[in-house]
Chains A and B, each alone.
Chain A
Amino acid sequence: QQQVKQSPQSLIVQKGGISIINCAYENTAFDYFPWYQQFPGKGPALLIAIRPDVSEKKEGRFTISFNKSAKQFSLHIMDSQPGDSATYFCAASMGGSQGNLIFGKGTKLSVKP
Chain B
Amino acid sequence: EPEVTQTPSHQVTQMGQEVILRCVPISNHLYFYWYRQILGQKVEFLVSFYNNEISEKSEIFDDQFSVERPDGSNFTLKIRSTKLEDSAMYFCASTWAANIAGGYYEQYFGPGTRLTVT
List residues of A whose CB falls within 8 A of some B CB. Answer: 31-32, 34, 36, 41-46, 49, 51, 89, 91, 93, 95-106
B112 touches A51 (CB 8 A): no
List 8 tightest A-B contacts by C-beta distance, closest first.
A43-B109, A99-B98, A98-B55, A98-B48, A103-B43, A100-B45, A105-B42, A98-B98
One of B14-22, B67-75, B76-84, B99-107 at the interface: B99-107
Q: How many residues of B contact A (CB 8 A)?
A: 29
List residues of B whose CB falls within 8 A of some A CB. Answer: 4, 31, 33, 35, 41-45, 48, 50, 55-56, 58, 91, 93, 95, 98-100, 104-112
CA gap between A45 and B106 in the complex, in Å? 9
A12 CB → nearest B CB, Å: 18
A100 touches B91 (CB 8 A): no
Main secondary structure of the interface of A (DSSP, over half): loop
- Write 13 A-B pairs (CB below 8 A) sorted by A numbering: A31-B99, A32-B104, A34-B104, A95-B99, A97-B98, A98-B98, A98-B100, A99-B48, A99-B99, A100-B33, A100-B45, A100-B58, A103-B45
CA gap between A89 and B93 in the complex, in Å? 16
**With A97-B56, A98-B31, A98-B100 given, is the CB distance from A103 to B109 under 8 Å?**
no
CA gap between A34 and B43 in the complex, in Å? 13
A46 touches B106 (CB 8 A): yes
- Residues in chain B near residue A49, CB distance under 8 A: 104, 106
A105 touches B41 (CB 8 A): yes
- Residues in chain A near residue B58, CB distance under 8 A: 100
